[in-house]
Amino acid sequence: MMSDQSELSLKHFYIFNEGYGKNEGEEEQKIMYYFPPKVKPDDKMKNVGLSEAIIQFTTTFGIKKSCESLHTEKCRHYYFSPEADFYIVMTVNVPTRSSVEGKTYHGEEVQDSVCQAVVKQAYLMYRLFHGTFSSRLDSSTGDTSPLKQRLELFFNRYLASMKLHHCDIMDVFQGVQFLPLDKTTFLHIQCFVNLLEASFPVVEFTAFLYNDRLIWSGLEPEDMQVVFHYLVYTLLPKSAETELTNGSIPTLNSYGRFLTGPENVHSNSNNVGKVPKLFLSHVKISTRTFHIVVYRMSNCTVCLFIPESEQLTMEMFRKWDTFLGPRLTKLVAEVSSYASKQSSTASGSMDAATRFVYFNRMNLATKSTVHLDSLRSGNTVVTPQVLRLLADINAEHTRSCNAGNPSAETIVKTMSDYWVVGRLSNAREFYVVIQHKNANLIEISDEVKRICDNELKSIFFHV
């Protein structure tokens, strides 16, 4: 008999407000969203009631934070309260292995820090497009239907695209990948952005990306973090797929196109097309909702953030196209040339047996040579066990940091001859994976120091 196995998978995902449905017979009113939708109403209320009871029970111990997770043999339950009275609950199925001896559950393959980050990111992505939960409630009548409609519209699609079994330490960080440039090239980008915003006062903020990596952003890091993930994991992949399907891949010599807005700015139509509105929660001005106009040329992406109160017209898009096209043609060539040189230098200096992951908590910058792409496809150069070990070390260092210890170092050798080193210092985290069977601690420490010097020249770790 061949062994059978199941991966980590989503079982339930629901949102409830404990302020509703307090009277007997009205309990279903507190359920704002439930996935899968075909679950019987009685089962929905039973699961929500159990979650509410667990959360209330843990508060009796005088804990400041409510219950965050519950472990059973077959499932893991995660609880997150993003707003007053609102709770998001995610239940996942523990991976299993079946053989002639029977079915076994492998709870060690489910990591709390990763799943909790997935729940939080789901809320942040919803808030980016629809604002807070409470903003959709009618305080005067208590009508919850507008909120329920928004939740269903968003999460039915979002949950269908979620790849739980591919989530790892990068989901814990939810960081932004930056593209470092030399001073001259970066100055040209900055001058371009300044001229753009001066020429078009309606543009409140600008972001500039190349090859899905951020070069410049006028947004607060917390807002850019969520916008970056929308761009890199949703909008740009869809655009690339469309370009390949239609055979219209842009070149350095051609002007770009709008990914949000009109398909053809030179048409006689006055229809500006679909332009998403984003809710930015950390901006320092009164306006919180913005149109996001995304212009793409070759591997370069420019994002314009225009206040919701501004009426977008076809004439605006024509002027933006006229302004952006010629200038980006030169910038793309310049950035592409520099990035190619840096890529060839980096690939030549990196040992194939040595990989690293870096995260800066201050600016949310992240970098990984463990992952071969940024598409959350599970395409990594290390084993799943090593990948889980990285998240375990991160969780331990986070607990240590929260306890008042800002620096930490952990060195682990696995049964498969991997050395894994994790360092935390100056709000920066650095994880190195080395596959070296006969190495000793001194040699591993020297190798980690060499990588720090080569890859993170301006960062000094006090450990």
Instruction: Please report whether residue 150 resides in a domain.
Output: yes
Q: Please say if the pLDDT value at position 460 is more than 50.
A: no
Q: Cα 300 to the chain's mean position, in Å?
A: 20
Q: Please say if the pLDDT value at position 50 is more than 90.
A: yes
| Cβ proximity of 355 and 390 under 8 Å | no
Q: Say whether both 77 and 226 belong to one domain.
A: no
pLDDT for 243: 65
User: Who's near 313: CB < 8 A, 6+ residues apart?
Assistant: 270, 272
Instruction: Please report whether residue 410 resides in a domain.
Output: yes
Q: Containing domain of residue 369, as a range?
A: 355-456
Nearest to 304 by CA among 316, 292, 313: 292
Q: Say whether both 157 and 180 belong to one domain.
A: no
Nearest to 306 by CA among 157, 423, 200: 200
Share of the chain above pLDDT 90, in %: 66
pLDDT for 341: 82
Overall domain count for the chain: 3
Q: Say whether both 377 and 335 belong to one domain.
A: no
Q: Which of 138-142, 191-195, 341-345, 397-401 has the highest mean pLDDT?
A: 191-195
135, two tokens: 């903003």
Q: Say whether both 221 and 271 belong to one domain.
A: yes
115, two tokens: 């799943």
Confidence of residue 463 (pLDDT cuts 50, 70, 90): very low
User: Who's near 8: CB < 8 A, 6+ residues apart?
Assistant: 92, 93, 94, 95, 109, 110, 164, 165
| Cβ proximity of 190 and 216 under 8 Å | yes
* Domain end (from 347, 367, 388): 347
DSSP states of 175-228: -B-B----HHHHHHHHHHHHHHHHH-TT--EEEEEETTEEEEE-S-HHHHHHHH
pLDDT for 435: 87
Q: What type of residue is 77?
A: H
Q: Say whether both 128 and 200 belong to one domain.
A: no
pLDDT digits (tens, 9 = 90+) for 141-175: 778 999 999 999 999 999 999 999 999 999 999 99
Rg (CA), the chain: 24
User: Who's near 241: CB < 8 A, 6+ residues apart?
Assistant: none
Mean pLDDT score, 80-103: 93
Q: Please say if the pLDDT value at position 48 is more than 90.
A: yes
pLDDT digits (tens, 9 = 90+) for 214-237: 999 999 999 999 999 999 999 998
Q: Say which range, 202-211, 224-233, 373-382, has the weakest mean pLDDT.
A: 373-382
Q: Say whether both 73 and 41 belong to one domain.
A: yes
Instruction: Please report whether residue 462 resides in a domain.
Output: no
Answer yes or no: pTM beyond 0.85.
Answer: yes
| Cβ proximity of 356 and 389 under 8 Å | no
Confidence of residue 454 (pLDDT cuts 50, 70, 90): confident
First vs last C-alpha separation in the chain: 51
Which CATH number do you get for residue 217? 3.30.450.30
Instruction: Please report whether residue 463 resides in a domain.
Output: no
Which CATH number do you get for residue 427? 3.30.450
Q: Say whether both 126 and 24 belong to one domain.
A: yes
CA separation for the pair 324, 330 (Å, rounded): 10
Q: Say whether both 115 and 205 belong to one domain.
A: no
Beta bridge partners of 430: 358, 423
Q: What are phi and psi of 79, to 5 degrees?
A: -120, 135
* Domain end (from 138, 167, 196): 167
Beta bridge partners of 34: 14
Mean pLDDT score, 437-458: 82
CA separation for the pair 5, 165 (Å, rounded): 13
Per the model's pLDDT, the better-predicted residue between 248 and 378 turns out to be 378
pLDDT for 270: 86
Nearest to 363 by CA among 187, 207, 175, 233: 175
Which CATH number do you get for residue 88? 3.30.450.70
Q: Say whether both 212 and 299 belong to one domain.
A: yes
Confidence of residue 30 (pLDDT cuts 50, 70, 90): very high
Nearest to 303 by CA among 230, 221, 248: 230
Per the model's pLDDT, the better-predicted residue between 375 and 181 turns out to be 181
Q: Say whether both 298 and 228 belong to one domain.
A: yes
Q: Say whether both 145 and 192 belong to one domain.
A: no
Q: Helix or strand or coil: residue 342?
A: helix
Instruction: Please report whether residue 391 resides in a domain.
Output: yes
Instruction: Please report whether residue 74 resides in a domain.
Output: yes
Share of the chain above pLDDT 70, in %: 92
Instruction: Please report whether residue 409 resides in a domain.
Output: yes
Beta bridge partners of 257: 296
371, two tokens: 């992952």
Q: Within 10 Å of residue 209's Cβ, how many Cβ atoms?
A: 25
* Domain end (from 327, 347, 367): 347
CA separation for the pair 68, 83 (Å, rounded): 15
Q: Say whether both 188 and 324 belong to one domain.
A: yes
